[in-house]
Each structure stands twice: as C-alpha cells, then as structure tokens.
Homo-oligomer: A and B are copies of this chain.
C-alpha cells in the first residue's frame, strides 16, 4: 500500500504521543494550545519536551487536508518586473506575516496558467492580489473560504486618492511639485515596458487631474525607452513646439534617468531649462547627474497596512483603516 519509492517521512504526532505516553489527541491539544481544553501542566510540559527532542514538525499537507486551510498566503503578481519597491514590499510582508506563522508564497507571472488551478492546488489561507482579479475568480476563491485581499496598488479611477497608496496620487504629487516651481507646460514620460501599463494608467491619470485642477494644459505624453538616443527623440518632441515643455514627470526613476540622458544629448540644462521628477527614490536617483528629485513611496507603511489587512481578513476582523499618506517628494537638484 505504501509508495514503492523510498521516502523517509519524518517524525509524526504518533511518535510524539507514544514517546510521551499520551494519545495523539493530547499531543494535538498541547501543541496547538487548543482553547477550552485543560491539560495538566506536567503532561503539557512532557509533550512539549518530547516534540522538541524528536524534532517533530507537523505535516502541513495533513493539516491542510484535515482543516481545509493552510498557513500559506499566496501573493499573485502579474508579470511585472520586480523593482526595489515591490521587492521591499514582499520582503516586509513576509517578515510581518511570518511572525504570525504564515508563510508567504509569491507567484510570479500571472496569466500563464489559469488562476483557479493555482489556488485550488495550493489551498492558501489568503490570496493577495496585486492587480484586480476577474470577478468570477474572486467569487470562486471567496466561496472556497479563501480570503482575498487587494494591495491597493491598483488604480481606482472613480475614487482617486482614496487608498493608502494610489497610483493616481503619485502622478498628482509629481505635477504639483513641478507646478509649484513655476512649470506650466508639463510632459509625462511613460515607460515602454507594457508590463507596467497598470501603473502607468493610474499615474498618468493623476498627472492629468492635477494639471486640470491647476488650469494647466494636458500633459504631453511620450513613451521613453531606456536609452539615451530614444530619450533624445522624446525630448526634441517636447521642445520643438510653440510652447516648449519645461517640466517632465517621469513614470519612475529609471525613465527619469533616461530623460536626463536625453536632455543632456540635446544640450538642455537641468533644472534651468527643464525640471525632471521621478518615482521610487532608488539609490541611483541620488547618484544621477544632476541628482534626481523623486517621489518616495514609503513602502514600509504600505507593507504594514497590507499585512494588517491580511491578518484582519483571516481573523474575520474589519479591514484596517488606511494609513495616512506615505508618499513624499524627495527634492534634489533636478527640479
């Protein structure tokens, strides 16, 4: 009946029970600190000691099969390139939830396989979606008792700025900063990487909103490849018009670096001729020529908020209140 292959399974709760002279029931009660059951301190101690000595670790598979729930939190990422911001977010999230006994599993590259297959085969306790799920996927997961949590990284066009971190607010903040420095004709430097479309949409919308709120003309949008030559073309497009652009809001610091390279190639001075602001405040921003002004995303607060949301969902508690704004303009020499 047993599989033929040699697979040495580990120590089981039966081993612990036998060794400490109690039943598996008692072992389970003690090790899970089950409420409403009183076990004598001596037994409790003996079981704990035995489990420790034997190096007992419960089988997640058996526990999951039995309870219908695991201690896995599945983070579903689209095929975004993971920059330092998302990386930090995941690392902090894993640390926070790890402290509560939850293991974070990151699934990278959504869309390749059907989502249903993924969560059905992992049986996670909660699923964290970094972009919106299809309504039928979300319904199916909830029906299966899986908590579904959004990262609030997605765009909400109807309610910009409502989330702790909204892409829309990032775009607004960039334009506000440029406008405060007197720029009236503003450009938006979008990334060419289509995988970033979700972010771009929100940030660009924010830039548009802020321009509108301040009575400025619509931002002039151009995709800027991460290459000095390509960036120079974009820069010329922005400048060789009746009212030349003087302020550029870039999708992120990488794109902003490309814009700086393009401006240099064209012979324009920063910030005298054109001001540039990025997003993310990566280390390279501080090292750029000139040092790049950027929007810092305060990712620690986001990670905290997200883990609180996951824990609340699991405990059946109400969603935590969004944290106060964490976005911040780090001003350097480029604006």
Q: Please tell me if A116 contacts chain B, counting CB pairs below 8 Å.
A: yes
Cross-interface CB contact of A71 among B69, B121, B257, cutoff 8 Å: B121
Residues from chain B with Cβ under 8 Å of A182 in the complex: none
Q: CB within 8 Å of B: which of A263-292?
A: 264, 283-284, 286-287, 289, 291
Q: Known contacts being A7-B145, A69-B7, A106-B106, is A283 close to B254, with CB within 8 Å?
A: yes
Residues from chain B with Cβ under 8 Å of A327 in the complex: none
A79 to B87, CA, bound (A): 11
- Which partner residue on chain B sits nearest A106 by CB separation? B106
Whether the pair B98, A112 counts as a contact (CB closer than 8 A) is: yes
Q: Known contacts being A61-B70, A286-B227, is A144 close to B7, with CB within 8 Å?
A: yes
Q: Please tell me if A173 contacts chain B, counting CB pairs below 8 Å.
A: no
Segment of A31-39, A51-59, A202-210 in the binding face:
A51-59
Q: Please tell me if A108 contacts chain B, counting CB pairs below 8 Å.
A: yes
Q: Please tell me if A134 contacts chain B, counting CB pairs below 8 Å.
A: no
Segment of A20-28, A89-97, A301-309, A318-326 in the binding face:
A89-97
Q: Known contacts being A144-B8, A289-B289, is A64 close to B67, with CB within 8 Å?
A: no
Q: CB within 8 Å of B: which of A43-84?
A: 55, 57-62, 64-65, 67-71, 79, 81-82, 84
Question: Could you mark each residue 101-135 of chain A with 1 if its beta carbon is under 8 Å from any beta carbon of chain B, else 0?
Answer: 00111111100110011101111000000000000
Whether the pair B95, A112 counts as a contact (CB closer than 8 A) is: yes
Whether the pair A226, B286 counts as a contact (CB closer than 8 A) is: yes
Whether the pair A291, B60 counts as a contact (CB closer than 8 A) is: no
Q: Please tell me if A237 contacts chain B, counting CB pairs below 8 Å.
A: no
Whether the pair A287, B144 counts as a contact (CB closer than 8 A) is: no
Q: Known contacts being A55-B116, A62-B65, A284-B257, is A8 close to B143, with CB within 8 Å?
A: yes
Question: Could you mark each residue 1-23 of chain A with 1 if its beta carbon is under 8 Å from any beta carbon of chain B, else 0?
Answer: 00101111110000000000000
Cross-interface CB contact of A228 among B5, B95, B287, cutoff 8 Å: B287
Residues from chain B with Cβ under 8 Å of A6 in the complex: 145
- Which partner residue on chain B sits nearest A94 by CB separation? B108
A37 to B124, CA, bound (A): 33
Whether the pair B291, A228 counts as a contact (CB closer than 8 A) is: yes
A9 to B69, CA, bound (A): 10
Whether the pair B65, A65 counts as a contact (CB closer than 8 A) is: yes
Q: CB within 8 Å of B: which of A211-263?
A: 226-228, 231, 254, 257-258, 260-261
Cross-interface CB contact of A121 among B103, B143, B258, cutoff 8 Å: B103
Residues from chain B with Cβ under 8 Å of A226 in the complex: 283, 286-287
Q: Known contacts being A9-B144, A228-B291, A291-B228, is A61 close to B64, with CB within 8 Å?
A: yes
Q: Known contacts being A81-B87, A227-B286, A286-B228, is A107 close to B103, with CB within 8 Å?
A: yes
Interchain residue pairs with CB less than 8 A apart (10):
A7-B144, A7-B145, A59-B123, A79-B91, A82-B82, A95-B112, A103-B107, A103-B118, A260-B287, A261-B287
Known: A5-B145, A10-B120, A226-B286. 18 other contacts (CB 8 A): A3-B68, A7-B68, A7-B144, A8-B143, A57-B116, A60-B120, A61-B62, A61-B65, A61-B70, A81-B84, A82-B91, A104-B107, A227-B287, A254-B287, A257-B284, A257-B287, A258-B287, A264-B289
